[in-house]
Amino acid sequence: MKLDSKVPEGRLEDKWRNYQFKSHLINPANKKKLNVIVVGSGLSGAGAAATLAELGYDVQCFCYQDSARRAHSVAAQGGINAAKNYQHDGDSVWRMFYDTLKGGDFRSREANTYRLAELSAPLIDHFTQQGVPFAREYGGVLVNRSFGGVQVQRTFYARGQTGQQLVVAAYSQLYKMIKAKKVEMLPRHEVLDIVIIDGKAKGVIARELSTGKIKRFVADAIVLATGGYSRVFRLSTLAIGCNGSAIWKAHKRGAYFAAPSFTQIHPTALPQTSESQSKLTLMSESLRNDGRIWVPKKKGDDRPAKDIPEDERDYYLERKYPSFGNLAPRDISSRAAKERIDAGHGVGQLKNAVYLDFKHAIERFGRETIEDRYGNLFTMYRKITGIDAYKEPMKISPAAHFSMGGLWVDYELMTTIPGLYAIGECNYSDHGANRLGANSLLQTSIDGYFILPNTINNYLEGELKAKRPEIDHQEFSKVEAEVKDQIQSLLDINGSRTVDDFHRELGKVMWQECAMSRNKKGLEKAITQIKSIKEDFWKDVKVTGSSDEMNTELEKALRLADFIELAILMCTDALQRDESCGAHFREEYQSEEGEAVRNDEDYAYVSAWEYNAGEFKLHKEELKFEFVKPTVRSYK
Amino acid sequence: MKVTFKIWRQDSPDSKGELKTYETDGLTEDMSFLEALDHLNEKLVLKNEKVVAFEYDCREGICGQCGVFINGRAHGPHDHMTTCQLHMRSFKDGDTITVEPWQAGAFPIVKDLVVDRTAFDRIVEQGAYITAKTGTAPEANSIPVPKEVSDAAMDMAACIGCGACVATCKNASAALFTSAKINHLNKLPQGKAEQHTRLLDMTKQMEVEGFGSCTFTAACEVECPAEISISSIAEMNARYVKAKIFG
Ligand SMILES: Cc1cc2nc3c(=O)[nH]c(=O)nc-3n(C[C@H](O)[C@H](O)[C@H](O)COP(=O)(O)OP(=O)(O)OC[C@H]3O[C@@H](n4cnc5c(N)ncnc54)[C@H](O)[C@@H]3O)c2cc1C
Ligand code: SF4
Ligand code: FES
């Protein structure tokens, strides 16, 4: 299949408008006849479901948690970007577009990235209208701060819980439409497969988690908004339930998977302290606005931070990247931390951390200001570690955080399966090989609120004439039987190892070989290892309980089964890309100073994988840069 | 570290439950409380027993999904903390730890430690929003909001919907939760147009769901992870009188 990105004609500034002019419209009476399934209730899912319902469609919205409001978008602390230029510091749509494209190391589509910047300002208007309590100046106007990888202040925030506040707004808007009887909410329902009829996405099979019941749902179009899949590493900043199952099943049924290996490793999470740890808590990047990162100059220096004099501290980001300093982009900061830790300068119990120090900021601005800016982050740090970060520096460490990769989508956010859309973190769209901080809440919200509701009609208009399949269509029966079989086989294995035990093993391989730094030999080894984990898993996992009850162990097993297969594709993708770009750092391709060396001649494309019965087949979407010239991404 | 867990086990909403005892070894102080339960569950699987069902998602105190009674206190021994933020260093080797689900008529048990809190969603459904469609927003800075007002709204908006306030209240009142939701929007200029109906409809739903009335015991504010103060309820009540007159 040839990949058609469907990028509209015209100048960058006109593309989205041109698209809207030309796209099909559906009159309100007809919209009522159409029904859309939205899988996910995070910012992308809830935003899409609420807006589609406002436009008149009938919507069913799914989430696996007990309430729509718990989607992992709640965990975003730092903020959301918008080119408002409120600070009068030279920001503009163009600059934001350029920062994002460059931040992604020129591995995203110009037109998508431009649209992201273009729609950012109206999104802040939207959320303000919905009652999000963004931070304000005394005069009542909105405040901004800066985030990694940019030199202007364009980040909006609500204390340290921007994500939570945006989700509450989206969830409330969703419940407004539930009250209007335009949305049916299905919490505690996990989508386990997609039903394709005559080549089009027409339904899903879901498991009701509180009873174990397997159910069928039919629709005229399906939207996946299931979030990131970095739990493939097991230890990550994601929620424990975050999974790749819905997109993986969609992939197996024909949706291409783009750049699966592009994973952002966040530089400022709390370090791992033990084997039994289940997650790594993020400390917002916004802390790098005022915190300074350092390690002791002397290897293995065991003195407490306060006893290490200034001239024996290495503020390595400020040293290596003087113009961006502590605000260097994430991939660069993470790699720099790894480099220092591997060289023996790590601090903390397991020597796997670096310091993030607020001493100078407190001296300069006073404790009160710092408390006002980051109060709840400091409280969170104390709750988890028992340490007061006003008195001694935080210890932080890199952690798997965000999936730039995801289902391949065109300009309309449609996957390669007609009628199947992917929005939010689960698609591959605007971020390229590295996402800039505070750009994801933006992308995920814009996909759901502004883009999808404007593009889906183009497809649905054609479905008006088509008859919706019956729920007892043979394809539904077939897919349902496959889902039930998979569940039964898992329960029947009755082996000797727990699901978590397998997940720990998978996580270690992925972290070692497919995270911050990769090489050919390691990736090849990882693929062999994961294949053998897969074999062992299907021979030796043990899941107790039954299928027709709430069974949290079975839920985990189903998610892990998909993660294992996805992990193989991630390593395959990383192996294929013989260059370093953004978060994808291949050790073979680096400069003498250890910086990434990109290869635009051979790799200026998005890899899009076809499942092909497990023999993954590579397709390429060539990236054409018509409006900007790719440059070497330097933050020196 | 070794502890004795006494955990409420109940197969389904209608079956009878009971406390069961589990001696659990091999824990460390660094483990979070939920990781200790994970650890117990892995042991149970290997002994061919069903795992304990308990709730969590983010495990960083923000999603509001976790929440159990630990030795008789909602979210465990500390004030203003979620269950997932609790670590085993808060217990001693050899301790007995009793773990039970939230208990409130409006939060029926689903299984073991898992309860159904959708009553909260239905309260929200009655008006915890601003009725404005996507695409109709004016320029954000065209509505100035004084910092004090915005900060005060933020204090209220911080509620994570965990239900600890209800669970810990002897009347099983949802007043802290509902007041936080109402005050967040009613404080802001954007929320003014619907302030009275919002308040009347949401408080009515509280009763429909079978939550009890608030008698100001202040038990809720001690447990609330978002540190919503009981003055939020007083504010709601004052607004209620106004809504009755003008609404
Ligand atoms: C700790 C943390 C901090 C972050 N901070 C920032 C920040 O400051 N700024 C920023 O811009 N970005 C930040 N991000 C990134 C950003 O928050 C996410 O990328 C974004 O919120 C994802 O939104 P989403 O709607 O795509 O997915 P989510 O919010 O994760 O929602 C996924 C939804 O899908 C549902 N779901 C998943 N699988 C299934 C299934 N199989 N069946 C049914 N339902 C399913 C879930 O129940 C949930 O409702 C952060 C991310 C993390 C992890
Ligand atoms: S008011 Fe506090 S205790 Fe009650 S639901 Fe909200 S966060 Fe939880
Ligand atoms: S698991 Fe999210 S608040 Fe505890």
Question: HSE of B94 in the Cβ direction (CA atoms, 13 Å)?
Answer: 0
Across the interface, whether the CB atoms of A278 and B35 are under 8 A apart is answered yes
| pLDDT > 80? residue B246 | no
Q: Is A13 exposed, middle or buried (0-12, 13-18, 19+ CB in 10 A)?
A: middle
Position A364 scores a pLDDT of: 95
387-416 in A: which are within 8 Å (CB) of B?
none
Comparing CB atoms, the residue among B62, B126, B188 nearest residue A74 is B62
Chain A positions in Cβ-Cβ contact with residue B49 (cut-off 8 Å): 544
Across the interface, whether the CB atoms of A165 and B65 are under 8 A apart is answered no
Residues of A recognised as catalytic: 330
Chain B positions in Cβ-Cβ contact with residue A544 (cut-off 8 Å): 44-45, 48-51
Ligand 2, CB within 6 Å, residue ranges = B 159-165, 176-177, 180, 223-226, 228
| pLDDT > 90? residue A146 | no
| pLDDT > 90? residue B245 | no
**Does residue B137 sit within a domain?**
no
Q: Which candidate in A41, A55, A63, A70 is best for mutational testing of the B interface (most B CBs within 10 A)? A: A70
Whole-Å CA distances, B203 to A558, A635, B172, B196: 41, 54, 14, 11
- Check whether residue B162 and residue B231 sit in a common domain: yes
Mind giving me the DSSP string for A371-389?
A: HHHHHHHHHHHHHHH---T
Instruction: Please tell me which residue of chain B has the smallest CA distance to A173.
Output: B129
- Check whether residue B126 and residue B106 sit in a common domain: no
Q: Could you list the residue range(s) of the whole structural domain that residue B22 is in?
A: 3-110
Q: Which residue has the higher pLDDT, A51 or A328?
A: A51
8 Å CB contact between B203 and A144: no
Across the interface, whether the CB atoms of A240 and B117 are under 8 A apart is answered no
CA–CA min distance A86, chain B (Å): 9
Query: Element (H or E) spanning A22, and its range?
Result: helix A12-22
- Check whether residue B128 and residue B186 sit in a common domain: yes
| pLDDT > 80? residue A1 | no
Pocket test for ligand 2, best of B159, B169, B211, B223 (most atoms within 8 A of CB): B159
Chain A positions in Cβ-Cβ contact with residue B54 (cut-off 8 Å): 552
Q: How far is the CA of B153 from the centre of ligand 2 (A)?
A: 15
Going by C-beta distance under 8 Å and a sequence separation of 6 or more, which residues neighbour residue B241? none
Position B47 scores a pLDDT of: 98
CA–CA min distance A176, chain B (Å): 6
**Does residue B209 sit within a domain?**
yes
Tell me the pLDDT of chain B averaged across its residues: 96
CATH number at residue B196: 1.10.1060.10
Query: Element (H or E) spanning A510, and its range?
Result: helix A499-513
- Check whether residue B95 and residue B159 sit in a common domain: no
Chain B positions in Cβ-Cβ contact with residue A278 (cut-off 8 Å): 32, 34-35, 38, 59
Can you tell me the distance from the alpha carbon of A59 to that of A176, in angstroms, rounded to the nearest whole number?
13
Q: Which candidate in A44, A63, A64, A67 is best for mutational testing of the B interface (most B CBs within 10 A)? A: A67
Which residue lies with its CA nearest to atom 2 of ligand 2? B224
Ligand 1, CB within 6 Å, residue ranges = A 39-45, 62-65, 71-73, 75-80, 162-163, 190-191, 225-228, 237-238, 243, 245-246, 282, 401-402, 424-426, 438-442, 444
- Asked if A542 has any chain B CB less than 8 Å from its own CB, the reply is yes
Q: CA quadruple A45, A49, A52, A58: dihedral positive or negative?
A: positive
The torsion of the CA quartet A131, A137, A141, A144, rounded to 10 degrees, works out to -80
| pLDDT > 90? residue A616 | yes
Pocket test for ligand 2, best of B115, B120, B162 (most atoms within 8 A of CB): B162
Q: What is the mean pLDDT of residues A274-279?
A: 88
| pLDDT > 90? residue A110 | yes
CA–CA min distance A476, chain B (Å): 29
Give pLDDT tens digits for A360-414.
999 999 999 999 888 878 988 988 888 999 999 999 999 999 999 999 999 999 9
**How high is the ipTM of this complex?**
0.98
Among A473-477, A501-505, B212-216, B238-242, the range scoring the smallest mean pLDDT is B238-242
Instruction: Return the CATH fold of A474-605.
Output: Methane Monooxygenase Hydroxylase; Chain G, domain 1 (1.20.58)
Question: Residues of chain A with pLDDT > 70: what percent?
Answer: 100
Q: Which residue has the higher pLDDT, A372 or A118?
A: A118
Across the interface, whether the CB atoms of B63 and A131 are under 8 A apart is answered no
| pLDDT > 70? residue B116 | yes
Query: Element (H or E) spanning A193, and its range?
Result: strand A189-197
CA–CA min distance B129, chain A (Å): 5
Position A133 scores a pLDDT of: 97
Across the interface, whether the CB atoms of B137 and A129 are under 8 A apart is answered yes
| pLDDT > 70? residue B223 | yes
- Check whether residue B149 and residue B79 sit in a common domain: no
DSSP 8-class letter at A178: H
Q: What is the mean pLDDT of residues A236-244?
A: 98
Q: What is the mean pLDDT of residues A598-604?
A: 97
Single out the residue of A308, A326, A458 nearest to residue A6, CA to CA.
Answer: A458
Comparing CB atoms, the residue among B38, B57, B144 nearest residue A141 is B144
Pocket test for ligand 1, best of A425, A427, A442, A443 (most atoms within 8 A of CB): A425
- Check whether residue B33 and residue B61 sit in a common domain: yes
Position B102 scores a pLDDT of: 97
Comparing CB atoms, the residue among A140, A158, A550 nearest residue B53 is A550
- Burial string for A311-344 (b: 16+ CB within 10 Å, else e) reads eebbbbbeebbeebbbbbbbbbbbbbbbebbeee
What are the domain boundaries of chain A? 12-262+404-463, 266-399, 474-605
8 Å CB contact between A112 and A47: no
Instruction: Please tell me which residue of chain A has the smallest CA distance to B118.
Output: A67
568-597 in A: which are within 8 Å (CB) of B?
none
Q: What is the mean pLDDT of residues A196-208?
A: 98
* Confidence class for position A276, pLDDT limits 50, 70, 90: confident
Query: Element (H or E) spanning A398, and its range?
Result: strand A394-403
Q: What is the mean pLDDT of residues A568-591?
A: 97
Comparing CB atoms, the residue among B61, B110, B132 nearest residue A130 is B132
Does domain A12-262+404-463 sit in CATH 3.50.50.60?
Answer: yes
Whole-Å CA distances, A576 to A48, A518, A610: 35, 11, 14
Across the interface, whether the CB atoms of A544 and B45 are under 8 A apart is answered yes
The torsion of the CA quartet A440, A446, A447, A448, rounded to 10 degrees, works out to 110
Give pLDDT tens digits for A526-540.
999 999 999 999 999
**Does residue B43 sit within a domain?**
yes
Can you tell me the distance from the alpha carbon of A309 to that of A293, in angstroms, rounded to the nearest whole number?
15
Mind giving me the DSSP string for B43-111?
A: HHHHTT-PPPP---SSSSSSS-----EETTEETSSSSS--GGG-BGGGS-TT-EEEEE----TTS-EEE
- Check whether residue B106 and residue B175 sit in a common domain: no
- Check whether residue B122 and residue B106 sit in a common domain: no
Position B247 scores a pLDDT of: 62
Q: What is the mean pLDDT of residues A92-109?
A: 96
- Check whether residue B98 and residue B7 sit in a common domain: yes
**Left, alpha or beta for A413 (phi > 0: left; psi -120 to 50: alpha)?**
left
Position A275 scores a pLDDT of: 82
Query: Quick check: CB of B32 below 6 Å from ligand 3?
Result: no
**Does residue B44 sit within a domain?**
yes
Give pLDDT tens digits for B184-206.
999 999 999 999 999 999 999 99
Number of domains making up chain B: 2
Can you tell me the distance from the alpha carbon of A367 to that of A396, in angstroms, rounded to the nearest whole number?
21
Chain A and chain B share a number of CB contacts under 8 A equal to: 223
β-pair type (A221-224, A35-39): parallel
Tell me the pLDDT of chain A averaged across its residues: 95
Does domain A266-399 sit in CATH 3.30.300.130?
Answer: no
- Check whether residue B152 and residue B104 sit in a common domain: no
**Does residue B18 sit within a domain?**
yes
- Check whether residue B189 and residue B105 sit in a common domain: no
Can you tell me the distance from the alpha carbon of B87 to that of B97, in angstroms, rounded to the nearest whole number?
13
Position A607 scores a pLDDT of: 98
Position A175 scores a pLDDT of: 98
Comparing CB atoms, the residue among B39, B57, B81 nearest residue A239 is B57
CA–CA min distance A348, chain B (Å): 14
Q: Is A605 exposed, middle or buried (0-12, 13-18, 19+ CB in 10 A)?
A: middle
Comparing CB atoms, the residue among A240, A274, A281 nearest residue B57 is A240
**Does residue B84 sit within a domain?**
yes
Across the interface, whether the CB atoms of B61 and A380 are under 8 A apart is answered yes
Name beta bridge partners: A592. Answer: none
| pLDDT > 80? residue A354 | yes
